[in-house]
């Protein structure tokens, strides 16, 4: 439980300082200035008071209990100070100082040392090398942090390792006059983790929306598990940076960690139901909308405006984001024709004209709240000098407070002149942005979260017809033999154990045997050379296709025997399947996460257009369906250009079985089914590779 960290009844500052520009002074100043309701204990062996508060030589001298102790002392003194804290019964320690694992092994050793003490006494640690926490709860007002943005009470909570970005996001809310609830930046995160804090915020009633920023995930599976659980309760918004190789390098440099370009984080966000962002500004704006507005029940938006152009910009963005602008219902149209100016545009977007009054806005909003054509409303409002803008703001606030459908507002004004109007909106909790694009994107994100919440997650298919033990045995045998790349027959026996359909095949050791099994399989056949030394079969002349008779098979085998000259050479004889659409499937182990499954169309689609999609195991039936639907070449699977489509159900089944296979066999590092041939009825893997 992190309650004592986020709701401390008392805070000690070890390393409290009389110097203005010292963090050990600033933390105390912040606690005082922010109006902290608990007790503050400056700890300084030489001072009697700091900022007018009685100071203590040692934390052991403090009379009352201590929930949180800040450490603002050099790293080398920290383990010793932990002993004192332990003896005192301190619950949580926030280490603001740096000089730990972020600087190298000697710093990491200090982390290890103080953690031994922390565990001994059951103390939990935030940081080191971190900012700390803020809780704006009016009953508490804890600013255990040395930064400078003082939040109003609010419903957005922020958590990130990176104090810089957490602070930028925090400033974003502050600049818009939007409050926050809890802020936490945990730096090196040697003990209390981001998932732990997210779980806490998930249970915190005052938090309506959780915002996080990551550059990489330390413990991806725990992050995913926790985020998935919390995201069903309230929106979790996240942004990952370090997406480009250069960005990842920059991240690795400042975190001292191993950041890398990855796709796994995106997949984790998606699977966990996180609302993800590429742009921190969009994240900030969306959080503001989530903080006060209900989640829409659909994607149909009504627009009300008192000026033309901004509504056009908003419309473009909403439509691009997949929202619909339905027409007004007959009833709404009738109602508005009576209530608005004769020249007003009574269709969606409704233009009430610049001279439109508070009553006009109110009528329009009420009508859209009642009209079941609409799930949400975008308001554009420029503040002309000739109308009563404050009254308009009050009406919009009143309707917003009903919480029937979300309202997001683009407020176009000079905030220095229309101070009262702005204040009414802010106090009334209407999300107001200064640009139509910002407002439209924030509203579109509410709808995106609705889609995430209501999406069909599908189910993980269970298979009773698979033979896990057999597959495990094949892998352990190969592993014992020191092979990382399975032989063809091993690969095909594993596919068989998981009922992954392949073109008929048989191994042969000689030309004669090859011809014999080819007869059994039925012509035409393919012959592939199989030996540990033959990696790129095609390039090395180890593949012969469309062989029509036994003679051709014998000739092909003879030629390979001559050319490849490998001691362990055998031959893989397989039914040749002409036609079919080439698809590819792949799986790659991702540390701590299972596997990433890849699917795409073969040939130019993968090689030229990189038209592939990814998912994390376990892949559900709904996931598999979505993978088929989201490749660019999806129309080809359905049937395009007068050609019949392929057996999509069979491909989906194949993806699910592949997911099951690699899930059961974690030793598999990489696996390809490339190509798989998809026909109108059925799919068959015709080449496959497994690396363990």
Range 210-239, binding its own copies (CB under 8 A): 213, 215
Residues of span 11-40 touching its own copies by CB under 8 A: 21-23, 26
Nearest-approach distance from CB 620 to its own copies, in angstroms:
27
Pick from 414, 391, 310, 305: nearest CA to 350: 305
3-state secondary structure of 665: coil
Pick from 629, 667, 610: nearest CA to 471: 667
Site size toward its own copies (CB under 8 A) is: 82
114 φψ region: left (φ > 0), alpha (ψ -120 to 50), beta (else): alpha
Dist. CA 88–CA 158, nearest whole Å: 30
Q: Which residue, 416 or 681, has its beta carbon nearer to its own copies?
A: 416
DSSP 569-587: -EEEEEE---S-EEEEEEE
Candidate segments 64-72, 496-504, 546-554, 628-636, binder of its own copies by CB under 8 A: 628-636
Among 96, 129, 145, 149, binds its own copies (CB under 8 A): 149
Q: Which H, E and C letters describe 114-180, residue by residue?
A: HHHHHHHHCCEEECCCCCEEEECCCCCCEEEECCCCCCCECCEEEEECCHHHHHHHHHHHHHCCCCE
Q: Which residue, 176 or 295, has its beta carbon nearer to its own copies?
A: 176
If 0-12 CB within 10 Å is exposed, 13-18 middle and 19+ buried, where does residue 404 land?
Answer: middle
Q: Which residue, 386 or 591, has its beta carbon nearer to its own copies?
A: 386
If 0-12 CB within 10 Å is exposed, 13-18 middle and 19+ buried, where does residue 686 land?
Answer: buried
Alpha-helical runs (H) found in 528-680 = 550-564, 604-607, 621-630, 634-638, 648-664
Residues 6+ apart with CB under 8 A from 210: 156, 157, 159, 198, 201, 202, 230, 234, 235, 236, 237
Task: Mark 588-627 with x for binding to its own copies (rule: CB under 8 A) and - for no binding.
Answer: ---------------xx--xxx------------------
Nearest-approach distance from CB 603 to its own copies, in angstroms:
7
Q: Are 443 and 378 in contact (CB under 8 A)?
A: yes
Nearest-approach distance from CB 5 to its own copies, in angstroms:
22
Residues of span 47-106 touching its own copies by CB under 8 A: 103
Among 438, 530, 623, 672, binds its own copies (CB under 8 A): 438
Among 17, 44, 162, 581, binds its own copies (CB under 8 A): 162
Dist. CA 600–CA 613, nearest whole Å: 6
Q: Which residue, 220 or 436, has its beta carbon nearer to its own copies?
A: 436
Dist. CA 13–CA 25, nearest whole Å: 9
Residues of span 237-296 touching its own copies by CB under 8 A: 241-247, 250-251, 253-255, 279-281, 284
Q: Which residue, 147 or 488, has its beta carbon nearer to its own copies?
A: 147
Task: Mark 312-351 with x for binding to its own copies (rule: CB under 8 A) and - for no binding.
Answer: xx-xx-xxx----x-----------------x-x-x-x-x
Nearest-approach distance from CB 131 to its own copies, in angstroms:
11
Task: Mark 417-436 with x for binding to its own copies (rule: CB under 8 A) and - for no binding.
Answer: x----------------xxx
Nearest-approach distance from CB 238 to its own copies, in angstroms:
13
Q: Which residue, 415 or 470, has its beta carbon nearer to its own copies?
A: 415
Q: Does 544 bind its own copies (CB under 8 A)?
A: no
* Token pair in block for residue 86: 């332990």
Candidate segments 43-51, 88-96, 381-389, 546-554, binder of its own copies by CB under 8 A: 381-389
Q: Does 386 bind its own copies (CB under 8 A)?
A: yes
């Amino acid at each position: 439980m992190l309650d004592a960290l986020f709701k401390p009844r008392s805070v000690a500052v070890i390393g409290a300082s009389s110097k203005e520009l010292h963090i050990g002074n600033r933390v105390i100043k912040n606690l005082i200035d922010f109006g902290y309701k608990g007790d503050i204990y400056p700890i300084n062996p030489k001072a009697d008071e700091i900022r007018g508060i009685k100071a203590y030589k040692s934390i052991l001298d403090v009379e009352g209990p201590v929930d949180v102790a800040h450490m603002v002392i050099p790293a080398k003194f920290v383990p010793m100070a932990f002993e004192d804290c332990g003896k005192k019964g301190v619950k949580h320690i926030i280490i603001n100082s740096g000089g730990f694992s972020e600087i190298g092994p000697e710093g990491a050793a200090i982390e290890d040392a103080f953690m031994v003490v922390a565990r001994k006494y059951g103390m939990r640690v935030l940081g080191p090398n971190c900012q700390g926490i803020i809780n704006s709860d009016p009953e508490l007002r804890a600013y255990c942090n040395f930064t400078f943005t003082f939040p109003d009470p609010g419903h957005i909570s922020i958590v990130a390792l990176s104090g810089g970005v957490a602070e930028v996001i925090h400033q974003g809310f502050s600049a818009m006059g939007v409050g926050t609830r809890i802020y936490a930046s945990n730096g090196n995160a040697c003990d209390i983790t981001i998932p732990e804090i997210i779980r806490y915020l998930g249970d915190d009633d005052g938090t309506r929306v959780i915002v996080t920023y990551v550059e990489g995930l330390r413990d991806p599976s725990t992050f995913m598990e926790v985020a998935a659980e919390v995201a069903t309760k309230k929106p979790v918004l996240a942004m990952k940076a370090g997406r480009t190789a250069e960005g990842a390098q920059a991240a690795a440099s400042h975190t001292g960690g191993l950041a890398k370009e990855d796709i796994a984080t995106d997949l984790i966000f998606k699977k966990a139901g996180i609302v993800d962002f590429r742009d921190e500004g969009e994240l900030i704006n969306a959080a503001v909308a989530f903080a006060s507005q209900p989640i829409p029940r659909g994607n149909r938006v009504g627009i009300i405006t008192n000026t033309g152009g901004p509504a056009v910009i908003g419309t473009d963005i909403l439509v691009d984001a997949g929202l619909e602008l339905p027409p007004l219902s007959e009833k709404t149209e009738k109602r508005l024709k009576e209530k608005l100016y004769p020249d007003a545009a009574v269709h969606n977007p409704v233009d009430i004209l610049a001279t439109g009054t508070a009553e006009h806005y109110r009528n329009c909003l009420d009508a859209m709240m009642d009209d079941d054509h609409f799930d949400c409303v975008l308001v554009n409002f420029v503040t002309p000098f000739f109308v009563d803008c404050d009254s308009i703001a009050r009406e919009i606030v009143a309707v917003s407070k009903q919480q029937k459908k979300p309202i997001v507002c683009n407020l176009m004004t000079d905030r220095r002149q229309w101070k009262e109007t702005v204040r009414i909106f802010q106090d009334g909790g209407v999300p107001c942005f200064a640009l139509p694009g910002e407002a439209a994107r924030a509203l579109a994100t509410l709808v995106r979260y609705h889609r995430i919440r209501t999406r069909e997650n599908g189910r993980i298919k269970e298979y009773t017809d698979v033979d896990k033990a057999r597959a495990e045995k094949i892998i352990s045998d190969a592993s014992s033999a020191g092979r990382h790349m399975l032989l063809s027959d091993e690969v095909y026996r594993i596919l068989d154990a998981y009922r992954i359909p392949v073109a008929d095949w048989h191994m042969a050791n000689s030309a004669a045997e090859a011809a014999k099994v080819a007869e059994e399989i039925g012509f035409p056949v393919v012959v592939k050379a199989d030996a540990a030394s033959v990696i790129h079969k095609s390039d090395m002349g180890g593949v012969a296709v469309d062989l029509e008779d036994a003679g051709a098979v014998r000739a092909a085998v003879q030629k390979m025997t001559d050319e490849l000259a490998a001691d362990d050479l055998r031959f893989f004889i397989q039914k040749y399947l002409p036609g079919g659409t080439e698809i590819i499937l792949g799986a790659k182990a991702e540390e701590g996460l299972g596997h990433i499954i890849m699917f795409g169309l073969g040939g130019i689609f993968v090689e030229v257009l990189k038209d592939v999609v990814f998912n994390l195991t376990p892949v559900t039936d709904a996931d598999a369906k979505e993978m088929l639907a989201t490749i660019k070449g999806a129309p080809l699977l359905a049937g395009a250009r007068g050609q019949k489509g392929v057996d999509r159900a069979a491909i989906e089944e194949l993806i699910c079985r592949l997911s099951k296979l690699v899930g059961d066999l974690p030793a598999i590092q990489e696996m390809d089914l490339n190509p798989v041939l998809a026909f109108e009825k059925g799919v068959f893997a015709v080449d496959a590779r497994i690396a363990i």
